[in-house]
Structure 1
Amino acid sequence: MSSLVSFFAGAFIGGVVAYIFSRRVANVQFDNAKTRDKSQKKRYKDIYIRASNQRLSLGPYIVAIGGGTGLSTLLKGLKCFTRNITAIVTVTDEGGSSGRLRQEWGVLPPGDIRNCLLALAEDDSSLNRLLNFRFDRGELAGHSLGNLLLLAATEIAGDFRKGIEELNYMLAIRGQVLPVTTESVCLVGRTKNGSRVEGELNITTCGPDLEELWLEPRNAKPLPEVLKAISNADLIVLGPGSLFTSVIPNLLVEEVSNAILNSSAPVVYVCNLMTQPLETEGFSVWDHAKWIAKVLRRFPDFVVANSTPLPQDIASRYIAAGSMPLLVTPEEREKFKKIGVYLIEDKLYKINEEGSVRHDSVKLAECLVRIARSAREREIWKESIQFSGMSG
């Protein structure tokens, strides 16, 4: 009897051991399979990233000139189509955190540069939240972390341009961001009654009365990289952005406007979606383009404008705040046609979660990339470009 019990006990124990061993083997195999699966997924992801980077590296060379929210919005769209992007950014900002750092530390205003760097970053979701974080108390109240980081990089590198390069590398951006000049310049204007107006903040209050704009010193030199980028461009984009304080200041650097005039690349002006209170109050799309032509000494080859009215509730809110939607009139279409400017109109806006109207960055970028690719392929771009869903 005892031998029978011993037999069954031994068989049971052996079965348990065999079961445990088989489970261990199965777990090891499962773990190995999971490891292989993760490894394979990582390999596929790496292949996809390399293929995507290869595709983007073959994209057109686009120079985007401006500042403020408009330029950074455009860059977010452009980076989906090419990594050959150069953002040329104005350095006349005097307000907010940028203005304080400019006054207290003697650095060029970092705000617009920061926004463009973040817009071109590979993964801007978490970086945006961190570097756009704005302190709300103490001596740092009003400053954004990104501005302070750019200030720190400048102090360490000993040069504003080198500080930007450090952030270019750290954020792994698609393209490059350049200040139009590293000299400290002031935006100055003269009104129709002969009054002198100094500083960006004052310029924004008297746009319709302005007769002339210039920078002091008048002989400010651009970065060599700025001129090189313009020379190599397949497309030069002006705007979107504040007409007198974001776009035009870049063109007031004489060597920059001369480089644009000498370039064979098409020049595109992207008109704003709305007028800006006081700065462009009462302006039409034609008025915006005419000021560009006055400063650049030629009209752009293309003008891109929104074609679709805003929802009534959104439009009413903006109108109450002093901003009017900008839509091309039939008379303006005739004017542009008469002087040979190709007008592209489409629904180019979207409304964000806060209810603010912004350019649809991807749709706008797609429109611009089509122009650039056509020019790059040496087609007769004014005659050959076909924009589905766009009229002009």
Structure 2
Amino acid sequence: MKKIRITLVGGGTGLSVLARGLRKYPVDISAIVSVADDGGSTGIIRDQIDMPAPGDIRNVMTALSDVETKLENLFAYRFKKEALGGHALGNLMLAAMYDMTGDFAVAVKELSKILNVKGTVIPSTNISPKLAARMEDNSIIVGESYIPEVKQKIEEVYLIPNDTVATPEAIEAIEKSDVIVFGPGSLYTSIIPNLIPEGMKEAIGKAPGIKVYVSNIMTQIGETVGYSAADHLDAINTHMGQNVIDFIILNEEDIKGRISDYYNRNDMTAVESDRDRLGEMGATVITDHRLVEIDGEGAVRHDNKVLAEIIYDIALKEISTLQYKK
């Protein structure tokens, strides 16, 4: 019996949260992860070793790992700054495996075996690219961590070198997917960087799988302040060169009175649902009153269990002829 194949596309904490929720379902998970991060421990390692960014890869591997809790915690352990520069042990292990193999995709694959990862974690590209952005005033900002600091509207992002090629494993995962999920995560610095390596646009555009975009709950300082759900989708379609999203999962509940004042102080608001524009772009809206989780301090996030349930339901309903393993 064939399992449903779901490919997740993104980076940051959003992708690992979704992966953790989906691993409980009878699906084959592939995760295509951005490797253009240049902040924190990852940035230090990239400065010292010319390798793709390990941080987001590490987070997704941890989320999909099926090992004893102590080993999982060890992989995620971060040293204090005065000891080993604040590096996460998992980042150092990925750097060591890369140094041993000379191939980042192979390093991820080998370390995944050690951690008994339930799924396939795939770097979007096998080199160490830099992310650059052209801003509203046509200035160019280079470096993923620097882009949001400018706090200008982003017109487009691209990779340096501009002939950066997608990994063959990423292309294959897209081509074989029943469902492709973009997000949740930072629009310009986590999601779109996966779409722009050579070969990805074409593969996504031709892929027969259902394409789902998980909209962020809140706008993001330095990237999407003032953006509606349709604005997020328009940015993806613009970088893709075509409308590609079949479904968009978003929150339509009023959460204003329950969230931290931090959001208001930073001009971050709940992403508004504009169904008419979304419909014009070919996207069907899916929502659920349980989608948003707000903690005691008013911090907002997706409920990963509810989000995974929605995605799995979409797969079951839309792939009516697919046999799946219960």
In the superposition, relative to structure 1, how do residues 79 and 124 fare at CA in structure 2: closer, same or farther (>3 Å)? Answer: farther
Per the TM alignment, residue 180 of structure 1 is displaced from its structure 2 partner at its CA by 0.4
**CA offset digits 1:121-180 (Å, max 9, x no partner):** 125744443222211143513211111121122223332222111221111111110000
Per the TM alignment, residue 208 of structure 1 is displaced from its structure 2 partner at its CA by 4.7
Look up the match of 2:91.
147
**CA offset digits 1:102-122 (Å, max 9, x no partner):** 001222111000000011112
1:250 counterpart (158, 183, 194): 194
Look up the match of 1:356.
299
> 5+ unaligned residues in a row in structure 2: which ranges?
none
Determine if the alignment matches structure 1 residue 133 to structure 2 residue 133: no
> For 2:122, what is the secondary structure of its paired residue?
strand
Look up the match of 2:265.
320
Q: Which moved more, 1:61-70 or 1:76-85?
A: 76-85
Q: Which moved more, 1:368-377 or 1:161-170?
A: 368-377
Name the count of aligned residue pairs: 320
Q: Counting helix residues as a fraction of each chain, which structure ranks higher?
A: 1
Larger Rg: 1
Determine if the alignment matches structure 1 residue 102 to structure 2 residue 46: yes
Paired with 2:59 and 2:296, the residues of 1 have a C-alpha distance of: 19
Paired with 2:298 and 2:117, the residues of 1 have a C-alpha distance of: 29
Per the TM alignment, residue 200 of structure 1 is displaced from its structure 2 partner at its CA by 0.9
1:335 counterpart (257, 272, 277): 277
Q: Which moved more, 1:163-172 or 1:352-361?
A: 352-361
- Counterpart of 1:318, as a letter, is Y
Q: Is the 8 A contact 1:59 1:81 kept in 2?
A: no
Paired with 2:281 and 2:199, the residues of 1 have a C-alpha distance of: 26
Q: TM-score, normalised by structure 1?
A: 0.76
- Counterpart of 2:248, as a letter, is V
Paired with 2:231 and 2:17, the residues of 1 have a C-alpha distance of: 23
- Counterpart of 2:268, as a letter, is S
Look up the match of 2:127.
183
Look up the match of 1:272.
216
Paired with 2:297 and 2:21, the residues of 1 have a C-alpha distance of: 20
> For 1:215, what is the secondary structure of its paired residue?
strand
Look up the match of 2:179.
235
Q: Is the 8 A contact 1:208 1:280 kept in 2?
A: no
Paired with 2:197 and 2:174, the residues of 1 have a C-alpha distance of: 13
Determine if the alignment matches structure 1 residue 283 to structure 2 residue 227: yes
> 5+ unaligned residues in a row in structure 1: which ranges?
1-56, 380-392
- Counterpart of 1:106, as a letter, is D
Q: Is the 8 A contact 1:83 1:174 kept in 2?
A: no
In the superposition, relative to structure 1, how do residues 193 and 321 fare at CA in structure 2: closer, same or farther (>3 Å)? Answer: closer
In the superposition, relative to structure 1, how do residues 312 and 375 fare at CA in structure 2: closer, same or farther (>3 Å)? Answer: same
Determine if the alignment matches structure 1 residue 166 to structure 2 residue 110: yes
Question: What's the RMSD between the two structures over aligned residues?
Answer: 2.1
Trace 1:1-392 onto structure 2 (pairs within 5 A): 58-123=2-67, 125-206=69-150, 208-299=152-243, 300-310=245-255, 312-328=257-273, 332-347=274-289, 348-352=291-295, 356-378=299-321
Q: Is the 8 A contact 1:66 1:250 kept in 2?
A: yes
Paired with 1:320 and 1:193, the residues of 2 have a C-alpha distance of: 25
Paired with 2:96 and 2:235, the residues of 1 have a C-alpha distance of: 37
In the superposition, relative to structure 1, how do residues 61 and 207 fare at CA in structure 2: closer, same or farther (>3 Å)? Answer: farther
Q: Is the 8 A contact 1:230 1:236 kept in 2?
A: yes
Q: Which moved more, 1:243-252 or 1:303-312?
A: 303-312
> For 2:155, what is the secondary structure of its paired residue?
strand
